[in-house]
Structure 1
């Protein structure tokens, strides 16, 4: 099992040089992977490529690029460029996204999301493998009528999906290399998510999928004082039906209930529980929430586990 963290580039005050410095700290702590969210700020595949090239031996990934507003031809081009820049250490994460982003920010109707995901993956897989595609679906067309080579983009970029609902899990099991569940506790993983995606992969004759569980967590001296801040930061996800559902399946009422805030043993035990529930990789998010000292302590604990 690999253990990694997200590196927060979603704010406006983190310079690229600071991100590279933090990535070096992560690697020095023993961490094996760094993941970058995609917002309307930094472009996550670009950041991953820059950091992966500057910091050897650490894997980098995006979690995750929404399929609404993107096209598989250009996502594949970004991913293969990042793969060439990092020497084969890039991992591409894609997502359905949310109705809020698609309709309010992009002006796109959030219609038939699972069908769009299926067609996106169908077009994307050959693009990542060979740089070529000849696909025409109901929602997406992807044909490589122009040059598409990226020297050094090997091996093929693994593609993972931020899938947690039954339909998205079935599509991901058949067409992707794994999934990136977030705010899905051990109970939801073990009872619902892992069986569904694993069964779909087996039916499609594919290897068992990677389960890269994203878990909010931090080692802190005062967990009680930190709880209100975690509640505030994670409240956004309570308004999104897919997250609310998986939080409930995890046996909780609010996304913040899944955040791990405590001492080194608390975090170690949490990682173990996710592993026992079927996670092949654990990525801890929000480690910067309690300041620099807590972030570094958290990374040291996770590095020892890695």
Structure 2
């Protein structure tokens, strides 16, 4: 059975307590896990600590921590601490992010993102084992570090994000799962093939791995508002987050539409870019409309063979009432 998770809002919220309250609501409505991105607002680690303290059973996760702004050893320490603070409810999501974020926001050179992700996963697993870290990689040469506290038991699983074929293969080969974001229902077939190839190359146990598919959702009685909010969300990602999502959609057969959205957004023609997200692309990527429509559409995503969890995410411009209505409409 496919689990149903919540991807907490990517847009900055009024307070940490707002995010704790949404997590408590997710727990009460039966969602399996709440995932927190780390983007423009509050850092994921401090916020997830508050969420862990304010909830009892719902899982928590990072989706995603980038592998440039923290060292691998620090990510390992952080994962161990969050696993302790949450009573074993953590799942760690890691990924390279993109050039605009890493170089523009963090001042780091966006070099060899796949290799850096793979080596970070290796080091984090060593840290979490409680053994002394000894690592001789292409990027990291580390020795001497060891946790001075009991290692977490069990160690939290480590998932990897990514959209390109090699990134998804890497997740299958080295990580405990893969996070899919802004992938069409049809496009998942190719990427799941990449993941399975990685599983085979790494000699992994697929039954112990987890594919989490994040789907933008907006279920409102006001159908047009729900769909317009979701169009805006897609246009922002395709146009405003570098070429990463544009290129991913091009690989999935939407090159012309993705290019139109991208060019319009970057020319300052935001309304035209949003309008270019036609119904075909909107419904291929997202679940938006009335509650009844959305329940049917979400079932289609959940029925994809190889997907273990659906992550109900929200348009970045959604208001608290929109988020709560969507959570209620799509509760497990």
TM-score above 0.5, yes or no:
yes
Structure 1 residue aligned with 2:309 = 281
Query: Deviation per CA, 1:49-96, whole angstroms, max 9, x where unpaired?
Result: 221232011001110011122211001111111100111111111111
Structure 1 residue aligned with 2:129 = 129
Structure 1 residue 136 displacement after superposition:
2.1
Tell me, yes or no, if the aligned pair for 1:46 and 1:78 is still in contact at 8 Å.
Answer: no
Structure 1 residue aligned with 2:7 = 6
Structure 2 residue aligned with 1:236 = 236
Cα distance in 1 for partners of 2:111, 2:225 equals 41
Q: Give the 3-state SS of the residue equivalent to 2:295 in structure 1.
A: helix
Tell me, yes or no, if the aligned pair for 1:173 and 1:198 is still in contact at 8 Å.
Answer: yes
- 2:247 corresponds, among 245, 248, 257, to 245
Cα distance in 1 for partners of 2:24, 2:37 equals 18
Structure 1: gaps (5+ residues): none
2:274 matches 1:271: no
Greater shift, 253-262 or 180-189, is seen at 253-262
Q: Give the 3-state SS of the residue equivalent to 1:181 in structure 2.
A: strand
Structure 2: gaps (5+ residues): 262-276
Structure 2 residue aligned with 1:293 = 321
Superposed, which structure 2 residues align to 1:76-155 within 5 Å?
76-130=76-130, 132-143=132-143, 145-151=144-150, 153-155=152-154
Q: Give the 3-state SS of the residue equivalent to 2:288 in structure 1.
A: strand
Change (3 A) 1:225 1:9: closer
Tell me, yes or no, if the aligned pair for 1:160 and 1:176 is still in contact at 8 Å.
Answer: yes
2:101 matches 1:73: no
Superposed, which structure 2 residues align to 1:34-49 within 5 Å?
34-49=34-49
- 2:201 corresponds, among 196, 200, 203, to 203
Cα distance in 1 for partners of 2:317, 2:106 equals 29
Change (3 A) 1:244 1:237: same
Q: TM-score, normalised by structure 1?
A: 0.90
Change (3 A) 1:262 1:84: same
2:262 matches 1:260: no
Change (3 A) 1:42 1:86: same
Greater shift, 178-187 or 290-299, is seen at 290-299
Structure 1 residue 250 displacement after superposition:
4.3
Cα distance in 2 for partners of 1:98, 1:16 equals 26
Q: TM-score, normalised by structure 2?
A: 0.83
Structure 2 residue aligned with 1:181 = 180
Structure 2 residue aligned with 1:53 = 53
Structure 1 residue 33 displacement after superposition:
1.0
Cα distance in 2 for partners of 1:56, 1:152 equals 22
Q: Give the 3-state SS of the residue equivalent to 2:186 in structure 1.
A: helix
Superposed, which structure 2 residues align to 1:191-230 within 5 Å?
192-208=190-206, 209-230=209-230
Tell me, yes or no, if the aligned pair for 1:288 and 1:295 is still in contact at 8 Å.
Answer: no
Tell me, yes or no, if the aligned pair for 2:132 and 2:146 is still in contact at 8 Å.
Answer: no
Q: Give the 3-state SS of the residue equivalent to 1:180 in structure 2.
A: strand
Query: Deviation per CA, 1:121-162, whole angstroms, max 9, x where unpaired?
Result: 22222222335421021212333x245134472211111111
Q: Give the 3-state SS of the residue equivalent to 2:70 in structure 1.
A: coil
Cα distance in 2 for partners of 1:301, 1:137 equals 47
Cα distance in 2 for partners of 1:147, 1:125 equals 12
Cα distance in 2 for partners of 1:237, 1:182 equals 10
Greater shift, 34-43 or 235-244, is seen at 235-244
Structure 1 residue 301 displacement after superposition:
3.0
